[in-house]
Amino acid sequence: MFLTQLTFGSAASASLDRDALKDAAESYLASLLKNGQIYGEYLFAWCDGNLVAYTHLPRPDAVAERHHSAWVKKEFDAVVRNFGGPPKWKIIDDDVPKRFPNWKQSASLYLFTHMFDDTSPVCCGESGKPVPLYLLPLGQELREHIYFWGCAYKSHDHIWLNSASLEIPAYKQLADPMSDLSSNGRELCAQVERATGRPTYYFLMRYWGRNIDEAIRCCPDCGGKWQTSKVETDGRPFHQFHFRCRRCRLVSHCANSYEDERHARIGEFKKAK
């Protein structure tokens, strides 16, 4: 992603104050964010009477009008009315690739994010690279639902990393395929798969593991085999998962810690009683 300066300008009418102008600009950026056209936070500043914002773009053409959703178009029109014209975008980073990967060349996708991630949670199965949501043939509402799922996932990841009193409940949401967070994410994966025609997998976190048979554990949903290879080390790229169940559309890695097997049962297959 690339740092970008966005100049809105000054008021088109003397009746508009700075608060009204900033509200229009912020609504526009919020709509771009939920549509996947910008990444991360955005910051505002007034410079010589002009409203300026800074944010990140996933690609140089990300804010082209052809990528706008209906909501983005509505907020864009409001910006034009309030400022007397469209905003001007300027990429500040000087190391921008001329070509970007095409998600259509990927045989599969997966859904994953984390506390420190501001990019798209939909990633290519072959490269692990994030796919900007505005490029996928998804409806406006589905893009927003994926965005809000990502926000919820990062909030749980933040709570878990803080290791306070809610550490284990937060971890269960991240590691249990039946948790509310996982169930929501898996439904989003199913919708992405229907829209793109690409198998779309849900990533399950696995931090605590067992000293014995961790590498051959069964799928936590169906109980079937899901080990992809006999390699048990972490010397592979993230997207080359140790575990994948094609039936349940789940992927995961071997555990990171084997010091507390009490928590290893979280996210494991449970036989019906």
Coil/strand/helix, residue 188: helix
Q: What are phi and psi of 27, to 5 degrees?
A: -65, -35
pLDDT-derived band at 273 (thresholds 50, 70, 90) equals: low
User: Going by DSSP bridges, is the β-strand pair 39-47/88-91 parallel, antiparallel, or unpaired?
Assistant: unpaired
Lowest pLDDT segment from 18-22, 123-127, 176-180, 243-247 = 18-22
117 backbone dihedrals φ, ψ, rounded to 5°: -100, 130
Same domain, 75 and 161: no
How far apart (Å, rounded) are the C-alpha atoms in residues 23 and 19?
6
pLDDT at 230: 66
76/211 same-domain check: no
Residue 269 resides in a domain: no
242 and 145 co-located in one domain:
yes
- Tell me the one-letter amino acid at 105: Q
Q: Please check whether residue 155 lies inside any domain of the structure.
A: yes
Provide the 3-class DSSP secondary structure of residue 224: coil
178, amino acid identity:
M
Residues 6+ apart with CB under 8 A from 8: 21, 25, 50, 51, 52, 53, 79, 83, 87
Helix (H, G, I), strand (E, B) or coil at 111: strand
Of 91, 122, 152, the residue at which a domain comes to its end is 91
Q: How confident is the model at residue 16 (pLDDT cuts 50, 70, 90)?
A: confident
Same domain, 85 and 113: no
* Interval 97-112: pLDDT, tens: 888 889 999 999 999 9
Residue-wise pLDDT for 39-82, tens only, equals 999 999 999 889 999 999 999 999 999 999 999 999 999 999 99
268 within a domain of the structure (yes/no): no
Number of domains observed in the structure of the chain: 2
Domain termination site, one of 58, 91, 124: 91
Tens digit of each residue's pLDDT (9 = 90 or more) over 185-238: 999 999 999 999 999 999 999 999 998 888 889 999 999 999 887 655 567 788
Same domain flag for 193 and 85: no
pLDDT digits (tens, 9 = 90+) for 82-96: 999 999 999 998 788
Q: Domain limits at 142?
A: 105-263
Nearest to 89 by CA among 142, 140, 136, 28: 28
Average pLDDT, the chain: 92
Cβ-based neighbour number of residue 76 at 10 Å: 19
116: left (phi over 0), alpha (psi -120 to 50) or beta: alpha
% the chain with pLDDT above 70: 97
* pLDDT, position 13: 73
Q: Which CATH number covers residue 80?
A: 3.30.70.100
Boundary of a domain, candidates 91, 116, 147: 91
Residues 15 and 116 in one domain: no
Element (H, E) at 42: strand 39-47
Residue 84 lies in a domain: yes
